[in-house]
Amino acid sequence: MGALLAIPLVVQPSLAASTSYVANCDARLRTTTSTTATIVDVVSSGGTVTASGTVSGGSWSADCPSTVSGSSWLAITAVNGTSTSTLYGRSTVYAAAGLFSVVTAPPPPPPSNYLEGVDVSTWQGSIDYAQVRASGRAFVIAKATEGIGYTDPRWATNRANAPAAGLALGAYHFARPDGNSTLAGARGEADWFVSQMSLTGGMLVPALDLEVHGTLSVSALTAWVQAWLGEVYAKTGARAMIYTSPSFWKTYLGDTAWFAQNGYPVLWIAHWTTNSSPTVPASNWGGRSWTFWQYTSSGTVPGIGGSVDLDRYNGLDLTRVTFGADFNVGLGGGGVASVEQGATVSVPVSINRSWFTLPVALTVSGLPSTLSPTLAAASTTDGSTSISFAPSTSTPAGTYPFTVTGTSNGLTRTATGSITVTDAMPPTVKAALSGLVGGRLGSTVPVATSWFASDPSGIASYGAQMETNGGAWATIGLPSPLTTSISQGLRVGSTYAYAIRATDGAGNTSGWAIGPVIKPVLDQQTAVGTTYSSGWTTAYSTSVSGGSMRYATWAGAWVSYKFTARSIGWVAYRGPTRGKAGVYVDGVLRATVNLYSSTYVAQPIVFVANWATSGTHTLKIVVKGTAGHPRVDVDAFVRLVSA
């Protein structure tokens, strides 16, 4: 490493009782106060200069734009924000005073746009920061160090008093690459700055003040700045802002956008102008524009004697330029909560802020939509909000992890929790439905009754009861807890009703679901509603229902029966001489029934049809005329009707 050069304090006229002027026309800058002196530069119309005062000299006259004359000269110490020492190697150059007008600071913009502030050094002397704050200023950027070994005499006082008055405070370092030109020198200046500024959370990010370049080339000065910034970041974790003028950056750093594109988005631009916005180098600082703007060096502020630099912040919230500004997301109760199905629970969300006042956007992820997570505020500047969870009754019981994510200013913070949904809802029970089934007609009619229940926790057991002829409900003994159907013989002419309830896996028991009242009805083969084609014969027997039945043997003979019921059954006769018949319900073939049997069977129910509700239908039986045993018998009809 090369030797580091310690640079003593350099008094800059632009920082002490100086005034800014704007050129009314193209104005020549000379080495002395004489029109015959050497011209060092020409300031274009509209350009700005800083003068420490006026001095008397040789006479001059000019058209600017009207004719002006005199013998007063401006003692100029900076041009367009860059010192004359840097530009011309002279602490002061001169120009005819009548070619310039005093720059007045532009009025503060509407409060909705910017924050106002100042930057100060020892040249401002003792400052009453309470008055500065009362004047509407929001921040102060104070000089801390210069080169290696120099600390601004008022830095410690400014550092203590500005925050105490409610002003945001930042520190800047005046770079001296002219004295510490090596990369080791850059790092040495950075280390000195870090050692003196005592950066703590809540301060503005530190600043590098670039006004001199020494003899460094564009590439060498760029590397010097990179080394300084990198060292500050390594020692503090802060990405410092850069202070420069448009002309200095374009001339001595090649108008590079490298810094804007590589982690240094905060530009503090020095451009003293009456325009409403500054000129921003490096392609509008990589498209990010300016963050701070020093728009005049000759402002006046209550609490500060003499003139002072006035600055503007591009926004209303300093969070993005505050060191240590951060937030975390937390959940009340550790994020663990329990809620029953169909109920609602709220979980507090805390946003723990450290010098962070920007809105934080919140989202909840990881949950099924049936849990209906709802944030009380999707974006908030507060320190707390809440999430409500309202699981639907169909949400399965269980534990559901979730994540709350907060995002703001490029930061993402998360908190995790879990919601346990408990089953508090009884099962949903479908009322029992009864229907005729095949079998034999006797003193009772064979009927099957079935039911069903559902629950997210599953069904653990069923209970069943039956009411007969409007009497008391009687418990039906089920073969197993999960039985969902039974078959019984019900007496013709009696009424019946069934009640079902279910218990789920969480122990919740439903109420009784009562089905319709039903009644078995027996109609003989000649009941009202029957119509026979020709070819049918009546047969009598004590083994058949009602003592008689009708039969046909030739193909195409038919009988139709129009009825009202929720179930219908055809009672026939089986035997060796019996054959096949087609069975139609409401005009649609439903079955082909074969009555053949090697033995005779009386009163079999050979066909049934069932519906969910009662209605009017037509049953038609058509003889097929089976070869060798064509006979088909109609003994009776059985119906289940709604009582």
SS3 content of the chain, % helix, strand, coil (to 5): 15, 45, 40
Select which of 152, 189, 211, 635 is catalytic.
211
Determine the 3-state secondary structure of 319 from DSSP: helix
Count Cβ atoms within 10 A of the Cβ of residue 174 and give its class: 0-12 exposed, 13-18 middle, 19 or more buried: buried
Is 326 part of the annotated catalytic residue set? Answer: no
Which residues sit opposite 53 in a β-bridge?
A: 75
Q: Tell me which residue of 135, 153, 133 sits closest to 143, measured CA to CA.
A: 153
DSSP, collapsed to helix, strand or coil, labels residue 14 as helix
Strand partners, 402: 417
Both tokens assigned to 402 = 């979730």
Place of tokens 């009555």: 595
Establish whether 209 is a catalytic residue. Answer: yes
Beta bridge partners of 591: 583
| Rounded CA separation 434/499 (Å) | 12
**Do residues 489 and 468 lie in contact, with contact meaning Cβ atoms separated by under 8 Å?**
no
**Contact between residue 269 and residue 234 where contact means Cβ atoms under 8 Å apart:** no
Picking from 591, 616, 617, 618, the residue whose alpha carbon sits closest to that of residue 606 is 591
Continuous H helices in 59-197: 84-88, 129-134, 155-164, 183-197
Q: Which is the catalytic residue, given 116, 119, 423, 633?
A: 119
Q: At how many degrees (to 10) do helices 218-236 and 183-197 cross?
A: 40
Question: Residue 75 is encoded by which pair of tokens?
Answer: 């003692």
As a whole number of angstroms, the distance between CA 170 and CA 509 comes to: 68
Q: Which amino acid is at 555?
A: A
What DSSP designation does 315 have? S
Six-digit token string for 161? 């008093």
**How far, in Å, CA of 347 to CA of 367, rounded?**
14
Catalytic status, residue 211: yes
Residues 152, 209, 423, 633: which is the catalytic one?
209
Spatial contact of 471 and 496, defined as CB atoms under 8 Å apart: no
CA 164 to chain centre: 38
Catalytic residue ranges? 119, 209, 211
